[in-house]
Amino acid sequence: MATSERIYTASLIIIGNEILSGRTQDANLAFIGRRLNERGIRLQVVRVISDVTDTIVATVNECRAKFDYVFTTGGIGPTHDDITADSIALAFGVENKPNDEAYQLLLDHYGDPEKINSARIRMAHTPVGAQLIHNPISLAPGFQMENVFVMAGVPRIMQVMFDGLGDRLVGGRPLKSRAIDARLPEGAIAGGLGKVQERFGDIDIGSYPYFREGLVGCTLVLRGADETQLDAAAEEVRSLVRSVGGDPVDETT
């Protein structure tokens, strides 16, 4: 069963010089990673790229061919550096044109077409064929073109957009996880851990070292769709930690 199961994959493209410069700490990756896990879709790669048309076009085209879903964040506002919609249109070889539904949203907000300046009207442009992703917080909607979901960069806005996607995303069995803080350096258990991994081929076991309060330790995270297997593997990991004198602590995942 496990081997014939359809695996759904995704990539995330974070568009924005402000993330690359280190000025702004990205908060979208972790949110999207967790949400996709819950929906049984595996986030396989994230690319953070700059606001450059050619880079966006090439990255989107590479990712939409490789993954079931592509998500982008950033660059959908009204300013000169908001080039995501133009770039997505180029990637799909279609025009970026005023979208009736998006224009109506602007009109509902401003009341008078005279108040919709040329910069604001850019927010109502989408590539031909796009379906809107509603933005209940500010005026710029996101949009979906085939398997590409174009969302805002502001975390609060991106989150409501993502959570509004509903059944536009189809996934497989969600991956479940168990996490165990070994409170020991990795070297003390590395050999045994590799052997547990060999015995549980359908479980992915990761060891994540940390350095806290002057101590080096590691958290062992097990992931898999089958909870019986997962619990059996987790118990072996706890025994391993105890066998070298450790006191494993379960963490919430």
**Contacts with a copy of itself in 3-32 (CB under 8 A)?**
16-27, 29-32
Q: How far is the CB of 228 from a copy of itself (least distance, A)?
A: 21
Candidates 136, 141, 109; CA nearest to 124 is 141
Part in contact with a copy of itself (CB under 8 A); list of ranges 83-91, 116-124, 164-172, 224-232? 116-124
Q: Which is nearer to a copy of itself, 29 or 94 (CB)?
A: 29
What secondary structure does DSSP assign to 129-190, as a single string?
T-EEE--SSSS--EEEETTEEEE-SSHHHHHHHHHT-GGG----SPPEEEEEE--S-GGGTH
Q: How many CB atoms neighbour CB 181 within 10 A?
A: 18
Does 224 participate in binding a copy of itself (rule CB under 8 A)? no
Q: How many CB atoms lie within 10 A of CB 240?
A: 21
Q: Judged by CB, which is closer to a copy of itself: 13, or 130?
A: 13
Taking the least distance from each CB to a copy of itself, the nearer of 157 and 234 is 157
Shorter beta-carbon distance to a copy of itself: residue 164 or 187: 187
Please enumerate in sequence order all residues whose Cβ is within 8 A of that of 13, keeping only pairs 6 or more positions apart, or say none.
46, 47, 49, 56, 59, 60, 63, 70, 71, 72, 73
Find the binding residues for a copy of itself in span 37-96 (CB under 8 A): 37, 43-51, 55, 77-82
Q: According to CB under 8 A, which residues from 185 to 204 bind a copy of itself?
A: 185-187, 189-191, 193-194, 197, 204
Does 243 contact a copy of itself by CB under 8 A? Answer: no
Q: How far is the CB of 130 from a copy of itself (least distance, A)?
A: 21
Closer residue to a copy of itself in complex, CB, 61/177: 177
Which residues, numbered 93-112, are part of the site for a copy of itself (CB under 8 A)? none
What whole-number distance in Å separates Cα of residue 90 and Cα of residue 197?
A: 45
* Of the candidate residues 104, 216, 247, 250, the single one contacting a copy of itself (CB under 8 A): 216
Question: Would you say 20 or 94 has its CB closer to a copy of itself?
Answer: 20
- Provide the residue type at 1 as one letter: M
Contacts to a copy of itself from residues 136-175, by CB under 8 A: 137-139, 152-154, 156-157, 175
CA distance 216 to 200: 27
Q: Which two tokens stand for residue 162?
A: 């993502």
Q: Which of 64, 125, 178, 223 binds a copy of itself (CB under 8 A)?
A: 223
d(CA 159, CA 28): 8
Torsion of CA 103, 105, 107, 109, to 10 degrees: -150
Q: Smallest distance, Å, CB 129 to a copy of itself?
A: 25
